[in-house]
Structure 1
C-alpha cells in the first residue's frame, strides 16, 4: 500500500475531514468547508499561499498567507483584499482572469496589469459586464475560461463531521 493511500485515514484519525471527488481540486473543498462553516454561523481560518483563496475572505473568514515559510503569516480579510487588489473578495476571480496569474499559468487579458484590472472591475463590476460592454472581444472566451479556473467551487461534496450532526 502506498503512503499516499493511507493519508485520508491518517487525516480522519486526527479528527479532520478527508474529501476527494472527480472534477474537484483541494481549493474547492476548502471553499465548501468555508461556506458550510459560515452557514452554521461559525468562523473559518484558511491557511494557504494560493491567492485564489482571497475570494473566500469575509467578516467570518480570514486567510492566513505564508510570508516567510511558515514562520510569518499575513492575515487577509476583506479589507486586505481591497487594499492589495482594489477589488472586493467576490471579484477576485474576475481580477485574476483580467490580470493573469503566473502560478496557475493564466496569462490574463493582453496589456492588463493589476491597476487596470481593478479599474475595469470598479467601472463595470464584473468581467462579464466588461465583456458585454465590448471590452476584450477578441479574448472574451479565453477570459471566461480563466475566470472559471480561478473560481473556487463551494459546492464540492464534503463529508459530515461529528460536530455537525
Structure 2
C-alpha cells in the first residue's frame, strides 16, 4: 500500500512537469517578438498582469507575490523589461521612494498580441472540459499550492 501511494505522488509531479513542458513547447513555437527582441513567457505574463490592473498601483512586491518570485529575480526581470522599453517605473504621490509599474507605449502595443496568445493557450488547455472539471482542477491546484507553501514556510 505504501509503495502505491508513493508511486502515485511521484506520478503527480511527473504529470505536472509533463504538462508544463507541453505548454512551454507550445508557447515557444509561437514566440511573440518585438522587432528582434524575443519576449520571454514571464515578460508576457507581467505585461498581461499590468494591463489587467492598469488602474491600480502595482509595485515590484505585487509582482513578487503574484508570480511567487524572489526579490532579486523580480528586480532583474523588471530592470530588463524597463531597458527593453516595455514598462516604466513611476513615483507614486504618497511616497516618492515607491515606484509603481506601468506599461510603456511599447508595452501597451504588445498587450493585445499577448492577450490573444494567453487566450489561445487557455482554450487549448480547457478544450473538452466541463465547467465542473475546470472548477475542480482549480480547487485541486489551490490545495497543492497551499501544501507546497506549508513546506516552504
**Same fold, TM exceeding 0.5?**
no
Give the number of the structure whose alpha-carbon radius of gyration is greater: 2
Hey, which of these two has a bigger chunk of helix by percent? 2
